[in-house]
Amino acid sequence: MSPSLRTEIKQSKPFRSLEQEAFLNLARTVACLEHQIAEVLRPHGLTPTQYNALRVLRGAGEAGLSRNEIQDRLVARVPDCTRLLDRLMAMGFATRTREEDDRRVVTTRITPAGRKAIEPLDDVLLEAHRRQLSHLGPQKLKSLIALLEAVRER
């Protein structure tokens, strides 16, 4: 059994509420999981946020997406989606075009280089997620998913 959060973060006082303890456990767990994924992506020259944006763009296909649509589909919100897309363009992984019909609309699309960069990572990340969570087993994973969805529902 892993140590309690209080032990892990060396906190001597009890938490002020169960809600606070639950929230801080979620935050600590997300931080640990994200750090592990960042370490998996680092040798491939991508951050988790860049990978996420490229995954969203790949899913959009040839139609591409506007900046706001990309921002809405990212798993984790980013404060400056424009800068994220600028970095992907500088890496050669995305392009932006102004639409002919409405010059105010700018569409971002993944490039062949962007596809090539993330395709091999699909299996790598799937295996990383299995290493992180498969010890829970299917029933606990389904319960965890349901609980997390219930938290976000509110």
The residue type found at 149 is E
Q: Which domain, by its residues, includes 124?
A: 45-153
Q: Residue 1 — pLDDT band, cuts 50, 70, 90?
A: low
Residue 67 lies inside a defined structural domain of this protein: yes
31-86 pLDDT, tens digit per residue, is 999 999 999 999 999 999 999 999 999 999 999 999 999 999 998 888 889 999 99
Determine, yes or no, domain membership for 28: no
Q: Is residue 6 part of a domain?
A: no
Number of domains in the chain: 1
- Does residue 65 sit within a domain? yes
CATH code (residue 77): 1.10.10.10
Alpha-carbon gap, residue 70 to 88, rounded angstroms: 13
Contact 51, 41 (CB under 8 A): yes
Q: Is residue 55 part of a domain?
A: yes
Is 35 inside a domain boundary?
Answer: no
Whether 10 is in a domain gets the answer no
